[in-house]
Structure 1
Amino acid sequence: MGLQVNRVDVFRQRLGTDVLIGDGAMATWLYQQGNAVGSSTEELCLKNPEWVREAHISYLRAGAQVIETNSYAANREGLSRYGLESKTTRINRAAVRIAREAVEASEADAFVLGSIGSITAAKVMTTQVEEFRDIFEEQAVALLHEGVDGLILETFFDLEELLLALDVVGPLVRASRVPIIAQCSLLDVERTRDGYLLSDAFHKLKEAGADLVGLNCRFGPAEILRALERAIVPADVGISAFPNAGRPAIVDGEFSYKPNYQYFGESAVRLWEQGVSLIGGCCGTTPEHIQAISGAVGGLKRLPRTNPESGPQVEVFEREVVRFQQGEQHSVVDLVAKRHTVIVEFDSPRELEVDHYVEGSLALYKAGADAITIADNSLANTRMSNMALGSIIKRELGIEPIVHVACRDRNLIGQQSHLMGLHALGMNQILVITGDPARVGDLPGASTVFDLSSFDLIRMVKQLNQGVAFSGRPMKSQARFICGAAFNPHVRHLDAAVARLERKVEAGADYIMTQPVYDVETMLAIKEATKHLKVPLFIGVMPLTSSRNAEFLHNEVPGIKISQRSRERIKRFEGAAARAEGVEMCKELLEETVKHFNGIYLITPFNYYEMTVELTKYVREITQNGQLASAF
């Protein structure tokens, strides 16, 4: 134990005085060597330890003085994707042993860092970071027990997660004095993904106990250098940098990086001039990159950091949900607080002609619809862009559109781009939905994206309302979205569905729209179960068109249930008579609905807008002059 503590002290001393050369990528290097990594790079510590050992030795021979254990994603959460969570401790301890064996085999004077990676791993945060506490502790204990010289927390896109990891490992290393290196990864050169200025992040990391702060992954040398040139780094803390080999290209279906070894060495000199004292490589880097770094800055002493004179001011970024404030603009949220408000869903056409749609929208508007909501390829069937249709009816008819935004079809890039386009067109009322999977639609071979859940997308919309891009980059102005969320009451356990709805409201939903309801009992159950929510709720009502339609909805469409009594009633009619009966059934339901809710959401079936025109007129008729009092 005394020998280990002495080695840690030597490592600390050298981090404070010398420039140390780190290693490069593990997974991409193994792949380039023709080694089939399989499901988990970290599992190789048990299945093919010789591959991992040879990778370490390759970097040590190239000049690396600090190598990282092959344990980046060896946490219980990451390993559970491959059914390996029960081997978390074994994999981490094996990773340390293999690294030690490589140091001994190469007879190098090198140190071993225990690598702990982000649990979210660049994905959108879908849980509270506090839930990661035990996961970080389990991995850190295993690495420390096997005797690492230090810990490196790397590739954290969200500062809040990195601070939690530091809070967990800090007490574990206090007695051994093992140094901790804390590295952020950036989507923007000045901010973390959760919106903190890099300068602020570095200060918070130092206060939390980091011995070195730095950057790794995502960016190549140029952008990491640019980020450090702009940042204010606190005194008495070291700096590390592990850039990627640059931007990857896809060649013959595989990722490929430029063999920019000389450039990497030249960049290392510029990083050293910024006060960086631990320099290595991340994705795409190879032993040749590390050899170039070693040849350029190996043997140099650490330079004192000189912060920029006009660097960004350190700030505290506080995230809060930005909700629509009444009176700021004409919206259904504003209206429903004052009177009965009717939203009518009218799906965009599956053809190229729009005349029928414009005609129907105008008829609905004249009947008294306060807004027309347009689905986003409902049931995964291809339809005309709801952005285009919304723009047309807003520009040509003066009708307020509510555009559905599904999680299914767009990745993170496409979602933000789509929202920015809606903002530019002045369409600020949206409904965020998950979206039906592509395989149920008319193009079953289409990809289903789902980069985001509906909870995530609501939070991201609210982030745009703060003037912060999905990447964490500050924008020059703020969006003005009023964001709705969907609610399916047709479940076995209504309390569980309400709990899910509460999470949507917590994420920032401004109003709720339900799946269609077909009986008073269900409507009253919804009222009772949601009465504690502080956002308005629009009850969905959709007329049946035929017996076949009723049976299809009841038996085949998720989220819809129709009583046996209603199905028997519509069964007596056919054609236009069945549609007329469907309207009459809805009128009876609406007579009760308007007594309890100000928000009415009429859904047009099969583009029979004449049916919802009649129902809209009926709502206006029975609620005229404010004669009905709302319980909302």
Structure 2
Amino acid sequence: MAPTSKLLQKLADGPVVVAEGYLFELERRGYVQAGAYVPEVVLEHPEKVAELHREFVRAGSDVVEAFTYYGHREKMRVIGKEHLLEPLNRNALRIATGIAAETGTIAAGNICNTNLYVGGDDAEDRFIRAIFDEQIGWAADAGVDYIVAETMAYAGEALIATKAIVDAGLTAVVTLAPHQTDRTREGWSFTDAARRIEDAGASVIGLNCHRGLWTIMPLIEEIRAAVSVPVAALPVPYRTTDEHKTFQALEDPLAAAAGNGRAFPTALDPFTVNRYEVADWGRAAVAAGVDYVGLCCGAGPHHIRALAESIGRTPEGSAMSADMTKHALFGDYEGIKAENQAHATRM
């Protein structure tokens, strides 16, 4: 039996909106280095992390997720800063729980893929479990409501993460990350993986990252039919296609500076979806049975606002939603110059 949490109570009343995407948004703003993608910003510029938390909540996110993605021991080793591991995690958690308390939202901890798992190596699996255990321990100390285990391309690693969260007595939200094929990296179907993760004790199961709004949906529908727990969908807000199902696969001849002709990760701008596409997807996702609905890498507050509004919410940020009737050229308000309206047709 999963522990009682604010998240599960809120899910019982309807869909929950969740903003992820901190990594890409803070990289765009100049506070995270692309490539390493380690969230040192929580130590160097904590006010910027708090600001983004507030922006996402104002846009409609029900959750404040601690920015500890890639803030684990292996990534800290890669950048030569293992001594900052605990301070980084504890500071990220302090920021998130503080903003959640301030805004009346739900605080979540976060663990993610370690980039170490390949399966079949017991010693490596024990080390991965230790990586998860220390981050979960700090999150539990901070008083988070639940833990997200995200971007797991290997279902085996997701199972290690699930067990670590459940063993800590916390609610587990586990999201796998699908690549070009409709299989996990070890070759399991996503329905098989989802059932095993449910059996391991996860309270919410689904997919996040890699695939866009519409290329993620066939797998989401399969998972919805396969499990009894709430289902999560947090795609990337990029225009992926049947040929290029993931944002890593998108190609752009103008992205040569990225080094390989692929737009990922620093030349994705031309592929970004607009807020109206997000709204269309949000309605379709909830209609398909998605309970935990959000966006991952690339999402901005305007995307989250559109998503929240698409399912009937009116967040604080809706006060600034577009109203083109007031536009000086395209509007129809009293007193608008007819010459301006005529000019608008020639622009």
- TM > 0.5 between the two? yes
Distance of aligned partners of 1:230 and 1:57 in 2 relative to their CA distance in 1, 3 Å threshold: same
User: Contact 1:19–1:299 at 8 Å: present in 2 too?
Assistant: no
Match of 2:167 among 168, 171, 178: 171
Match of 2:277?
263
Match of 2:317?
none
- Taking the aligned partners of 1:12 and 1:148, their CA distance within structure 2 comes to 13
Distance of aligned partners of 1:102 and 1:217 in 2 relative to their CA distance in 1, 3 Å threshold: same
1:167-207 deviation line (CA, Å, top 9, x unaligned): 2221112xxxx321010011146321111111111110110
Paired residue secondary structure (1:22): strand
Gapped regions of structure 1 (runs ≥ 5): 1-5, 301-632
Match of 2:135?
139
Paired residue secondary structure (2:150): strand
CA-CA distance at 1:54 after TM superposition: 1.1
Match of 1:370?
none
Written as runs of structure 1 = structure 2, the 5 A alignment for 1:277-356 is 277-299=291-313
Paired residue secondary structure (1:264): helix
- Taking the aligned partners of 1:211 and 1:80, their CA distance within structure 2 comes to 31
- Taking the aligned partners of 1:25 and 1:237, their CA distance within structure 2 comes to 24
Distance of aligned partners of 1:146 and 1:202 in 2 relative to their CA distance in 1, 3 Å threshold: same
Question: Is the aligned partner of 1:56 residue 2:43?
Answer: no
Match of 2:24 among 18, 21, 28: 28
Match of 2:106 among 99, 102, 111: 111
Written as runs of structure 1 = structure 2, the 5 A alignment for 1:595-610 is none
Paired residue secondary structure (2:206): strand
- Taking the aligned partners of 1:231 and 1:242, their CA distance within structure 2 comes to 14
- Taking the aligned partners of 2:133 and 2:67, their CA distance within structure 1 comes to 17
Match of 1:84?
81
- Taking the aligned partners of 2:212 and 2:48, their CA distance within structure 1 comes to 26
- Taking the aligned partners of 2:251 and 2:105, their CA distance within structure 1 comes to 33
Structure 1 runs, 4 residues or longer, greater than 3 Å off: 34-41, 123-128, 230-236, 247-254
Paired residue secondary structure (1:165): helix
Question: Is the aligned partner of 1:214 residue 2:214?
Answer: no
1:301-324 deviation line (CA, Å, top 9, x unaligned): xxxxxxxxxxxxxxxxxxxxxxxx
- Taking the aligned partners of 2:110 and 2:196, their CA distance within structure 1 comes to 21
Question: Is the aligned partner of 1:120 residue 2:115?
Answer: yes
Paired residue secondary structure (1:280): strand
Q: How many pairs align? A: 287
- Taking the aligned partners of 2:303 and 2:119, their CA distance within structure 1 comes to 33
1:88-134 deviation line (CA, Å, top 9, x unaligned): 22211111111123334xx533111111001017x867954333111
User: Contact 2:66–2:108 at 8 Å: present in 1 too?
Assistant: yes
- Taking the aligned partners of 1:47 and 1:70, their CA distance within structure 2 comes to 13
Distance of aligned partners of 1:298 and 1:21 in 2 relative to their CA distance in 1, 3 Å threshold: farther
User: Contact 1:202–1:233 at 8 Å: present in 2 too?
Assistant: no
1:569-609 deviation line (CA, Å, top 9, x unaligned): xxxxxxxxxxxxxxxxxxxxxxxxxxxxxxxxxxxxxxxxx
Question: Is the aligned partner of 1:184 residue 2:176?
Answer: yes
Match of 1:409?
none
CA-CA distance at 1:35 after TM superposition: 3.6
Counterpart code for 1:25: G
User: Contact 1:219–1:244 at 8 Å: present in 2 too?
Assistant: yes
- Taking the aligned partners of 1:298 and 1:24, their CA distance within structure 2 comes to 20
Match of 2:98 among 82, 101, 111: 101
CA-CA distance at 1:59 after TM superposition: 0.7
Question: Is the aligned partner of 1:75 residue 2:89?
Answer: no
Paired residue secondary structure (2:231): strand
- Taking the aligned partners of 2:180 and 2:159, their CA distance within structure 1 comes to 19
How large is the Cα RMSD of the aligned pairs? 2.4
- Taking the aligned partners of 2:131 and 2:32, their CA distance within structure 1 comes to 28
Counterpart code for 1:120: N
- Taking the aligned partners of 1:31 and 1:88, their CA distance within structure 2 comes to 20
- Taking the aligned partners of 2:37 and 2:286, their CA distance within structure 1 comes to 34
- Taking the aligned partners of 1:289 and 1:140, their CA distance within structure 2 comes to 29
Distance of aligned partners of 1:36 and 1:194 in 2 relative to their CA distance in 1, 3 Å threshold: closer
Distance of aligned partners of 1:260 and 1:141 in 2 relative to their CA distance in 1, 3 Å threshold: same
Written as runs of structure 1 = structure 2, the 5 A alignment for 1:184-583 is 184-188=176-180, 190-231=182-223, 233-246=225-238, 247=247, 253=257, 254-255=266-267, 256=269, 257-299=271-313
Higher relative contact order (CA 8 A, sep 6+): 2
User: Contact 1:239–1:277 at 8 Å: present in 2 too?
Assistant: yes
1:367-396 deviation line (CA, Å, top 9, x unaligned): xxxxxxxxxxxxxxxxxxxxxxxxxxxxxx
Distance of aligned partners of 1:207 and 1:36 in 2 relative to their CA distance in 1, 3 Å threshold: closer
- Taking the aligned partners of 2:166 and 2:31, their CA distance within structure 1 comes to 36
- Taking the aligned partners of 1:89 and 1:13, their CA distance within structure 2 comes to 31
Paired residue secondary structure (1:223): coil
- Taking the aligned partners of 1:226 and 1:14, their CA distance within structure 2 comes to 26
- Taking the aligned partners of 2:134 and 2:100, their CA distance within structure 1 comes to 25
- Taking the aligned partners of 1:290 and 1:126, their CA distance within structure 2 comes to 39
Paired residue secondary structure (2:295): coil
- Taking the aligned partners of 1:265 and 1:172, their CA distance within structure 2 comes to 36
Match of 2:243?
none
Counterpart code for 2:291: S
- Radius of gyration: which is bigger? 1
Match of 2:262?
none
CA-CA distance at 1:71 after TM superposition: 0.3
User: Contact 2:23–2:37 at 8 Å: present in 1 too?
Assistant: no
